[in-house]
Structure 1
Amino acid sequence: MSLRVTFVASARSSPLLAERFEDDRPLDQAGWEEVQHLARDLLPLAAAELRYCSPTPRSRATGDALGYHPLVQPALRDCHMGRWRGLTLGEAMAREPDLVDAWLADPRSTPHGGESLLSFISRIGGWLNTRPVEEHGRIVAVAEPSVIRAALVYVLKAPPSTYWNIDVRPLSTTTVTGWAGRWHLCLDGAPAHTSCA
C-alpha cells in the first residue's frame, strides 16, 4: 500500500521580496489572476480522496478557488517565527543581524523565540507520516511554500540546510509517494496522473 500526496503551493499575496514570516495576508490581485489562469490544469487534483490546506488565508482561498474545498490542517501551518512574525527577512536582518545569521546557520536555533527549523521540518514530516494509507490513496494539500520545502527536506532525509536551497513557486505542484518513514519524491510532471508508485 502506498499513498500519493500532491502539494500545491498557495498563490501569492505579495511579490517574492516582500514575503513576510508567517504571512497571514489574503491573496493579492496577481495571486487571484494566477489561480484563474492555472485552475484548469490544477482542477483534476480535486479528485483526491482527501483534500487539505494550511490554515493561512491564502492557502484556504487558493484551495477554495481551485474547487478543492480543503480541510484546514493546523499541523501544516508555517514555521512559528516568534517576534519576527510579520517581518520580511530584510527587516529582521536590519533589527537583529547577528541573530538572523545564527538562525540561518543553526537549524536548532530559535533566536526569534519561536520554532526551530529542525522542529518545523519534523512537524511537517509527522503530518505526512500520520496520513491514512489506503490502496493507491491520493491526497492534495494546498500549503505555503515554506511547508512544502520542509516536506521535501523530510522526504529526502536531506540535511536541514537543504531547506534554504529549495525554491517553491506559487501554484507549483510537488508530489511525494509512499508511507510513514518511506517517502519518495515523484517528478512525473503530471500532477493529475498516478505514474509514480
Structure 2
Amino acid sequence: MNVRVTLVAAARASTLLAERFDDDRPPDGEGWRALESAAHELVPLAAAELRYCSPGPRSRATGQALGYAPLAQVALREWDMGRWRGLTLAEVAAREPGAVERWLADPHAAPHGGETLLAFIARIGGWLDSRPAEDGGAIVAVAEPSAVRAALVYALRAAPQTYWSVDVRPLSTVTLTGSAGHWHLSLQARA
C-alpha cells in the first residue's frame, strides 16, 4: 500500500543571510509576493485527503494562504537549535567557530544543546513513516525547508552529511511515494 506525500517548503520569512535558527516569523513581504505568484501551481494540492503543516508561523501561514486548512504536526517542527535559537549562522560562527565546525562535520554533534542532525532526520523520518498508507492516498504537508531536506535524506536513505548538499528553496515541492521505510522520490513534469 502506497501513499503519496507532497512536501511544500514554506514561504520565505527573510533573506538567506538574515535567516535565524528556529525562526518564529511569518512570511515577509517577498515571501507573500512569491506565494501569490506560485499559488496557481500550489493551490490544487489542497485536494489531498490529508493536509498538514509544521507548527511554525511561516508554515502555518503558507498552508492557510494556499487554502489547505492544515493540521499542525509537532513532529514537523524546525530543527531544535538549543541556545543558537534566534541567531544567524554568521552570528554563531563569530561567537563559536569551533562549535559550528563540529556541528557541520559530525551528525552526532549538538554543541548548541538541541537536536543532533541524526535525531532531526530520524524525527522527520518517523513522521513520514507514520502516515496512513491508504493505497493511492494523497497527503500534502507544508514544512520549513530544513524539514523537507531532512525528509529527503531519510527517504533516500542517504548519508546524514547529504543534508548539507540539498538546497530546498521556499515554495518548492517534492513528492515522496511509498510506505514506512520504503520511499521513492517522484519528480513531476510541469506543463
TM score, norm. by length of structure 2: 0.98
Q: CA-atom RMSD, angstroms? A: 0.7
Q: Residue deviations 1:61-97, cap 9 Å, x none? A: 0000000010000000011000000111111100100
Q: Residue deviations 1:14-47, cap 9 Å, x none? A: 0011111111111111111111111111111000
Pick closer, same or farther for the CA change 1:189–1:19 going to 2, 3 Å. farther
**Aligned partner of residue 109 in structure 1, secondary structure:** coil
Q: Corresponding residue for 2:112?
A: 112
| Cα distance in structure 2, aligned partners of 1:38 and 1:29 | 14
Q: Residue deviations 1:72-130, cap 9 Å, x none? A: 00000011000000111111100100011001000011100000000000000000000
Q: Corresponding residue for 2:62?
A: 62
Gaps of 5+ in 1: 191-197
| Cα distance in structure 2, aligned partners of 1:6 and 1:28 | 24
Gaps of 5+ in 2: none
> Which contiguous aligned blocks of 4+ residues in structure 1 show a shift greater than 4 angstroms?
none
| Cα distance in structure 1, aligned partners of 2:131 and 2:167 | 25
Q: Corresponding residue for 1:194?
A: none
1:40-189 matched pairs, under 5 angstroms: 40-189=40-189
Amino acid at match of 1:111: P
TM score, norm. by length of structure 1: 0.95
How many residue pairs align between the two structures?
190
Q: Corresponding residue for 1:195?
A: none
By how many angstroms is 1:145 displaced?
0.3
**Aligned partner of residue 92 in structure 1, secondary structure:** helix
Amino acid at match of 1:162: T
Percentage of pairs with the same residue:
67
By how many angstroms is 1:188 displaced?
2.1
